[in-house]
Amino acid sequence: MTTPDSTDFGYEKVTPEEKTRRVTRVFSSVTERYDLMNDVMSLGVHRLWKRYAVHLSGIRPDSAVLDVAGGTGDMAALYRPLLDERGRLVVSDINGDMLGRGRDRLLDAGLCGIEFVQANAETLPFRRHSFDLVGIAFGLRNVTDKERALASMYDLLRYGGRIVILEFSKVVLPVLDRLYDTYSFRLIPLLGRLITGDEDSYRYLVESIRMHPDQATLSAMLEDAGFSRVTCNNLSGGIVAIHRGYKL
């Protein structure tokens, strides 16, 4: 698999190495107020999106689960109560600041038995065929080489295992599309400045949503990576979508 000479950082074209460095700086900058901003930007609805993604994941008490780009631990907090002593939950993130915050939050909440690994989604350092479920929530659009990351996740799944991707997508309702654009480009950077003191990072995050593959394109990427029975569920008019695929 060849590495592209350039990739998108928001609306900019940069080298893959530069995107990785910049994304790391973005998330290190917003770590402390990241959860608060998610609540403010989505009016708390992101919590319902995440719960629905877990509902669709088909997780069993004895599942081995990998939460990629696990950030501050929201998804892990939903997965962990569904697993018993036979289950395994690993949270990975390329950003050490985000991973550390997630570890502290989960431990403070009394959620134990979770592994934390700092890792790049493109080269996940786990044994092949070792997970029943690989999930990634609001992280794929920030990955430099998405095709390589999907291939890495596919390789880690056991046969019969599945991937669940929760990510911003393309709004499918015309009126909502215009309102969402206005809100995203005018208000989210302003909220970023007021709440985190970092307007530029949230401008990038808005741009990254617009540059992320739409529902049909991401479905095709999953199939190209080897996944079967790929499905897509639009939520909130396509503001976000849940993609699922199986390794058969």
Structural contact between residues 240 and 166, judged by C-beta atoms closer than 8 angstroms: yes
CATH code, domain carrying 160 = 3.40.50.150
Is residue 119 within 8 Å of residue 90, measured between CB atoms? Answer: no
pLDDT tens series, the chain, 248 aa: 555 678 888 888 899 889 888 888 888 888 877 788 888 888 899 999 999 999 999 999 999 999 999 988 999 999 999 999 999 999 999 999 999 999 999 999 999 999 999 999 999 999 999 999 999 999 999 999 999 999 999 999 999 999 999 999 999 988 898 899 998 998 898 988 888 888 888 898 889 999 999 999 999 999 999 999 999 999 999 999 999 999 99
Give dist(CA 19, CA 81) in Å, integer: 35
The whole-angstrom separation of Cα 201 and Cα 188 is 10
* Residues spanned by the domain of 123: 7-246
- Residue 157 within any structural domain of the chain: yes
Q: How many domains does the chain have?
A: 1
Residue 1 belongs to some domain of the structure: no
Query: Torsion over CA of 59, 61, 64 and 65, rounded to 10 degrees?
Result: 40
136 assigned to some structural domain: yes
Residue 225 lies in a domain: yes
The residue among 115, 210, 136, 133 whose CA lies nearest residue 170 is 210
Both tokens of 131, joined, read: 């997970």
- Decide if 2 is inside a domain: no
Does any domain span residue 12? Answer: yes
Measured in residues, the chain has a length of 248
